[in-house]
Amino acid sequence: MIQTNKSSQGGFALLITILTVGVVVSATLAIVELSRMQLKLSVDSRDAEIAFSAANAAKECAQYMRTTASSTISNGGQIRVNCLDYSSNIRAATTLGFGVGTSIGSNGDNVFRYTYDIPWEASGLSRCSMIDMIVVYATTKTITIGTGANTLQRVVSNYRSPTMTCRQGSQCTIIAASGYNTNCGNKNSPGVLKREVLLEF
C-alpha cells in the first residue's frame, strides 16, 4: 500500500490558494485604480470644457463692449459690461502703466487698459470669466506699446511678442479672455482650471 504525505498536499493547496487570491486582489486593485483615473480624467475634461466656455464667453462679451462703447473707450472713460446676466461699470485700470489717459507711447497718445472679472451662473454652478482689454488709438502717429519694463508678455498672458505696434491712423485692440471652472473668489485656488483665449484686431 502506497502512502501519500497529506501535509505536503495541504501545503501545496494553501500555496495555490494564496497565489490565486493574490492574483485576484491585484487584478481588482488594478481595475479600481484604472476606474479612479478614468473618473479623474472625465472630471478634468469636463472642468476644462467649462473653463474654455467661460473664456470664450468673456471674449464675446469684450468684443461686444468694444463695439458698443467705442466712443467712450476712445476717451478712456468708464464703460458698462452687460453680459452673462451680469451688469457693472468698468473703469480703465491704472496698473503697469496702463492708466486712464496714460500713454505707453508718448505725447499723450491714447492707450487704455480695461480689466474686469465677471461672475456668472451656469446650471446652478458659479463660474468666472475675466476680461483684459488693451485699446490703442494711433490717430496722429504710429504707437508702440509694451516697451521698457512693462512688456506685453508681462502684462498679457501668452502674448506673442514683448511689444505691439499700432500704425498711424489705426485703432488696435488686444483682448485676453480667461475662464475658470469656479467662482471668481476662488479662481486662484489650487486645482482650479483656467483656459485663455487671445484675440487681436
pLDDT category at 1 given cuts 50, 70, 90 is very low
Q: Which of 76, 82, 77 is nearest to 62 (CA)?
A: 82
Which cell numbers in the block locate residue 130?
Answer: 475675466
Where do we find the cell 469636463? 46
Res 92 pLDDT > 80: no
Please write the tens of the pLDDT for every residue from 120-144.
877 777 888 888 888 888 877 787 8
Which cell numbers in the block locate residue 59?
Answer: 471674449
Q: Which of 188, 97, 180 is nearest to 131 (CA)?
A: 180
**In which region does residue 124 sit, left (phi positive, over 0), alpha (psi from -120 to 50) or beta (all else)?**
left
Domain ranges of the chain: 40-200
Q: Which residue has the higher pLDDT, 100 or 34?
A: 34
Answer whether 113's CB lies under 8 Å from 132's CB. Answer: yes
**In percent, how much of the chain has pLDDT > 70?**
79
Please write the tens of the pLDDT for every residue from 39-75.
666 666 788 888 888 889 889 888 988 888 888 887 7
Please report the pLDDT score of residue 101 as a whole number. 34
